[in-house]
Amino acid sequence: MSELIRRCPKCRSERPPSEVRCGHVLDGEVCDWPLFNEPLINPSSVELVEASATPTRPIRRCVQGHEMSEGDLICFVCGSSPAEDSIDSTYESEREYIGQSIDNWLIEEQISEQSEAEDYFSLSMPDENRKGFFILYKENYEPDPAIYRVMERMDHDHLPDLISTGRWRNRPYEIHEWINYGSLREIEFAGPDNPARLNEIILEIAKALRDFAEVGLRHRDINPKTILARETDPLDLVITDFGSARLSDFDLDVVSPLTLTRYSAPEAIVGAISAASDWWSLGMIVLEQVTNGECFKGVNEKAFLIHVVTRGVEIPPDLDIHVATLLKGHLSKDPLERWQWDEVHRWLNGDHVEPPSTSTYVQTEIGLGTPIILGEASYTSPERFALSAAEAENWDIAL
């Protein structure tokens, strides 16, 4: 088996795992690009592609090597400035994949918006009247092969049936069963007036996270897009997208953050992984469900992540006390105090479970008497105004 290496995103050279800064010498100068956030990969799976062969998609990075979005003035992972010589990464246009074949499957169409980590397609096998779900991961987001070996031993009640994995067009992929009802994002919100449906959602996700915890699997990207509905009545949810997943037996590990979303735990945002990180994500999903999405209305994604790290997440004061208790348990900034399966199971059974004493940031302000107008929206909460004002398109108006 080949020794794992890190691939320098600046000079594209292959470096040994022990090297924390790239030692490749080019034109008499050492590259010196930081490598500690680059994943370990198998050199046999790395194929350098000429930049002229396909269209390029620019990737901006900070001086520490973290990816940055277009327009970011600082890195929202470490606070560093953008690197002057950010590198382009090369990919074929996803539109060119439609109609091509892989493992006797025909790629039919791209079925979701662009993601920084992967692309999704529907597949068909016309001769057998079968459909499949195709996840094509991008470079540096390749799932750990050990994850698949663990998944093979797990109950598939909350996992999709994995058909095949491999590499295609120099990109890792997985093909699994077609899930009929799409993602949790496409299902109507449970809302505060449908506690039975909310409990179904909580139980399905919680059972999946319980199974993950038993084998030390940390998913790290639990969100409504990675949760698919195999059935809707009764509800049967499965977890997909294991490109960010890691195996760990420790309460807290330091790892490189990959995909960060509004559902990411505070420790995940700053580059750590906890056994309780996925349970925070469940809490954020519940918060979105009971507020009908209002908790995220008008917020800037990256400003919201900063708020999560520094202050936590506010729990609306008008929520049902039973639901608010669950959210306080899941959205504790301290992962050691955060609720996991035992507490959730008791909560679902109607038992009283005391939430952490120092858990979350709870909104206590009533709001301003006069709203602040920003564009076409009005705000009575200074914090919601600040999050919206941080968006690039609102910045000049807010000033």
Give the number of other Cβ atoms within 10 Å of residue 350's Cβ: 7
Radius of gyration of the chain (CA): 22
Please report whether residue 75 resides in a domain: no
Model confidence, pTM: 0.69
Please report, to the nearest 10 degrees, the dihedral formed by the alpha carbons of residues 192, 193, 199, 202 taken in order. Answer: -30
Q: What is the model's pLDDT at position 213?
A: 92
Domain span at residue 113? Answer: 94-177
Q: Give dist(CA 395, CA 373) in Å, integer.
A: 13
- The verdict on residue 41 lying in a domain is no
Integer angstrom CA distances of residue 213 from 221, 222, 225, 251, 334: 15, 14, 21, 11, 18
Whether 189 and 202 map to the same domain: the answer is: yes
Per DSSP (E only), the strands in 66-183 are 67-68, 88-90, 101-102, 105-110, 118-125, 130-137, 162-168, 171-177
Cβ contacts of residue 275 below 8 Å, gap of 6+? Answer: 213, 218, 248, 250, 251, 335, 340
Domain boundary among 116, 149, 177: 177
By the 8 A CB rule, do 316 and 395 touch?
A: no
Asked if residue 264 is part of any domain, the answer here is: yes
Residue-level pLDDT at 12: 77
Which of 177, 205, 232 is the last residue before a domain boundary? Answer: 177
Residue 59 has a pLDDT of: 62
172 lies in some domain? yes
Residues 203 and 289 in one domain: yes
State how many domains the chain has: 3
- Assess whether 212 and 349 both reside in one domain: yes
Assess whether 274 and 323 both reside in one domain. Answer: yes
**Same-domain pairing of 323 and 212:** yes
Residues 387 and 283 both lie in one domain:
no
SS3 content of the chain, % helix, strand, coil (to 5): 25, 25, 50
277 and 196 in a common domain = yes
Same domain, 113 and 149: yes
Q: Cα separations (Å) of 331 from 219, 226, 261, 311, 359?
A: 17, 20, 15, 11, 7
The DSSP 8-state label assigned to residue 229 in this structure reads: E
Assign residue 234 the CATH number of its domain.
1.10.510.10
Residue 64 lies in a domain: no
Q: Are 288 and 262 in contact (CB under 8 A)?
A: no
Is residue 342 domain-shared with residue 374, that is, in the same domain? Answer: no
180, amino acid identity: N
Same-domain check for residues 264 and 225: yes
Question: What residues in the chain have per-residue pLDDT under 50?
Answer: 1, 45-58, 85-91, 361-366
Report yes or no on 223 lying in a domain: yes
Tally of residues, the chain: 399
Distance CA 246, CA 150 (A): 11
Specify the pLDDT at position 88.
39
- 252 and 379 fall within a common domain: no
Q: Is residue 230, in this structure, part of any structural domain at all?
A: yes
Residues 251, 150, single domain; the answer is no
> How far, in Å, CA of 291 to CA of 73, rounded?
32
Last residue within a domain, chosen from 177, 211, 240:
177
How remote is the C-alpha of 176 from its chain's centroid? 19
- Are 183 and 228 in contact by the 8 Å Cβ rule? The answer is yes
Is 353 contained in some domain? yes
The domain that holds 112 is classified in CATH as 3.30.200.20
* 349/162 Cα distance (integer angstroms): 33
